[in-house]
Amino acid sequence: MDVAPALEQLLQDSSQVERAVVLGSDGKILGSTLPDQVAAETFAQHARELIAVAAELRSSDGDVTRVEVELAEGAVFVIHEGETTIAATTGPRPTPGLVTYDLRTCLNALADAKPKRRRATNKPKDEGKE
Amino acid sequence: MRRLIRLAVLIGLAVWAWRAFMGRREPGERAGVSYADGSAIVLEPSSPGFERLASAARAALGS
């Protein structure tokens, strides 16, 4: 599934997610639900900042897989799986488990759509002749 | 014995009233971070690091 339909599906499935952006391994935006590119880039920048701050909270190295900040005015979720990151906002008092599940489902849909490596089927013609 | 029962009932009522009326006023702010090695931390507003995450989150919510 491409990023745009996956995000559309996310907004349909989740009544809590308001905005979302998907980032690639290089941090570039792969897709977003925001109306324009500038807003998407600003939101993506804040998501990257959240991951950076979360990584600094621990002395030892370790990739951040999830950041979840619930505030009175709303909540922000960032999920990182494999090479893809998704960041989303919700209104106040979300159900964190459900939001996380919906975001992971979206990431899984994107991961399933990626072309898998084909196993080499061509064997050397000389093999087995000797 | 009766005094003890009364005291227990009063304490119970006081705890219920505190949680019912004061607990709801708390905004319920918190932050959680999970790492690839399976570890996770939960930050409450009083814990160090929460405000840094909260300010980034506020910026994201306002963007």
Report yes or no: B56 at the A interface, CB cutoff 8 Å: yes
Q: Name the average pLDDT for chain A.
A: 87
* A77-126 residue pLDDT tens: 999 998 999 999 999 999 999 999 999 999 999 887 665 555 555 545 45
The residue range of the domain holding B29 is 2-62
Q: How far apart are CA A69 and CA B12, in angstroms?
A: 33
| DSSP summary character for residue B22 | I
Give the global pTM: 0.77
Helices of type H across chain A = 3-13, 37-56, 96-113
Under CATH, which architecture does the A3-113 domain have? 2-Layer Sandwich (3.30)
Average pLDDT value over all residues in chain B: 88
ipTM confidence: 0.80
Crossing angle of helices A3-13/A96-113, nearest 10°? 160
Number of domains in chain B: 1
CA distance A101 to chain B (A): 15
- State the pLDDT at residue B25: 55
Closest-approach residue (CA) in chain A for B29: A71
Q: Report d(CA A103, CA A88) in Å as an integer.
A: 8
Contact A36/B at CB under 8 A:
no
